[in-house]
Amino acid sequence: MNALDGKLALAISNSVVQCTREYTGRGPTKARTTIGDDIIVTKIEDTLTRGERSLADSGKGEMVTDIRRCFQTTMREELVSRVEGITGRTVVAFMSDNHIEPDIGVEIFVMESQSGDGHVSAR
């Protein structure tokens, strides 16, 4: 990873943490972003709020993942906008998911091809 990618990765990680905190009341304590040619993946850890952790600990993990999916749907537009603003590139697809134990989530941004043709190509 070059210095520019490192700065972009840090900016994206910080933005994902900040956005998550704004929407859920608590942000993850760890985030790491990996940048590829046409994909950006942010792995977040220690994401659950105290209430979500209590639900998960009492056997309601499925309810917690459903709640997280609702947050992710609500945050989608904001996260995409932030990543596009940081990178100067268009996000063509966004996927997000959470895992309860261990407490890990991912935010995946598929970027428009650098060639500008709008196609995502397999390599």
Q: Would you say the pTM of this structure is higher than 0.75?
A: yes
Cα–Cα dist 79/100, whole Å: 21
pLDDT at position 45, please? 98
pLDDT at position 118, please? 52
Q: Evaluate whether 96 touches 72 at the Cβ level (below 8 Å).
A: yes
pLDDT (tens digit per residue) in 67-103: 999 999 999 999 999 999 999 999 999 999 999 999 9
Beta-carbon contacts of 102 under 8 Å, excluding residues fewer than 6 positions away, are 45
Residue 120 lies in a domain: no
Residue 122 lies in a domain: no
Residue 117 lies in a domain: no
Residue 121 lies in a domain: no
pLDDT (tens digit per residue) in 4-56: 789 999 999 999 999 999 999 999 999 999 999 999 999 999 999 999 999 99
Residue 34 lies in a domain: yes
The total number of structural domains in the chain stands at 1
pLDDT at position 114, please? 79
- Domain residues for the domain of 72 are 3-111
Residue 16 lies in a domain: yes
Residue 83 lies in a domain: yes
The residue written with tokens 């850890």 in the block is 45
The residue written with tokens 């940048």 in the block is 35
